[in-house]
Amino acid sequence: MNKMYGFEGEVKSKYTSQMADFFTEIFDYLPLCHLINGKVFVCHGGLFRDDGVTLNDIKKTNRVRQPPDDGIMCDLLWSDPQDVKGRGPSKRGVGCQFGPDVTKKFCEMNDLDYVVRSHEVKPEGYEIHHDGKCITVFSAPNYCDTMGNKGAFITIKGDSLKPRFTSFTAVDHPSVSKTGI
């Protein structure tokens, strides 16, 4: 993944091969998801191809491995929201597409307010789906130097957990050598 989308090459050009290997190893230990104030579920991809997945099921998932082609870990990394109810096959070939009913059921079952996820380019850097229960935030402006999209970040403050969005445009890449000079 790091090779395919340019991260490894960028790290090697700015630092060293050893640093790129270090990042690859560290990524195996990053959490699959996060909870904000126990009410906002944050993940990279999205929700699950199966009903009934609980936060406890996610906690029990072995994170320290290469992502499999199916199951909880795969879905958290690769699934995407869809506008229609139910689930559908993923256009990516892994994960699934999940509808507003799936999001609502997951939030109700786990006592959550909403889901924040990334993993899809959005023209303004973010998009609100499923009646506000699913939010996509994509922070890479002009993705792959070709998409022309804005990036965005989300701010969630206080007990209300009301999201606020800030969009931004890309800036030119700085000229950087391996020595940093």
Per-residue pLDDT tens over the stretch 149-178: 999 999 999 899 999 999 999 998 777 666
Domain shared by 81 and 137, yes or no: yes
Domain shared by 66 and 3, yes or no: no
Domain shared by 24 and 95, yes or no: no
Question: Is 88 within the bounds of a domain?
Answer: yes
Domain shared by 21 and 62, yes or no: no
CB 47 within 8 A of CB 79: yes
Given a cut of 60, whether residue 180 has pLDDT beyond it is: no
Could you report the per-residue pLDDT of 23-65, keeping only the tens digit for each?
989 988 999 999 999 999 999 999 999 999 999 999 999 999 8
Question: Is 119 within the bounds of a domain?
Answer: yes
Domain shared by 69 and 123, yes or no: yes
pLDDT for res 176? 65
Question: Is 99 within the bounds of a domain?
Answer: yes
Domain shared by 132 and 81, yes or no: yes
């199951």: which residue's tokens?
Answer: 71
Given a cut of 50, whether residue 181 has pLDDT beyond it is: no
Query: Which pLDDT band, with edges at 50, 70 and 90, does 146 fall under?
Result: very high
Query: Which pLDDT band, with edges at 50, 70 and 90, does 179 fall under?
Result: low
Kindly state the helix (H) or strand (E) to which residue 36 belongs, with its residue range.
strand 33-36
Could you report the per-residue pLDDT of 69-86, keeping only the tens digit for each?
999 999 999 999 999 999
Phi/psi region, residue 124 (left: phi>0; alpha: psi -120 to 50; beta: rest), is alpha
The alpha carbon of 163 is separated from its chain's Cα centroid by a whole number of angstroms, namely 16
Question: Is 173 within the bounds of a domain?
Answer: no
Domain shared by 58 and 130, yes or no: yes
Strands (E), 60-178: 80-81, 87-89, 96-98, 114-117, 126-129, 134-137, 151-157, 162-168
Domain shared by 14 and 42, yes or no: no
pLDDT for res 173? 78
Domain shared by 48 and 26, yes or no: no
pLDDT for res 1? 73
CB 54 within 8 A of CB 109: yes
Residue ranges making up the domain that contains 125: 33-168
Query: Which pLDDT band, with edges at 50, 70 and 90, does 4 fall under?
Result: confident
Give the pTM: 0.90
Per residue in 143-176, is it b (16+ CB within 10 Å) or e — as a string? beeeeebbbbebebeeeeeebeeebeeeeeeeee
Could you report the per-residue pLDDT of 97-137, keeping only the tens digit for each?
999 999 999 999 999 999 999 999 999 999 999 999 999 99
Domain shared by 63 and 105, yes or no: yes
Q: How many domains are contained in the chain? A: 2
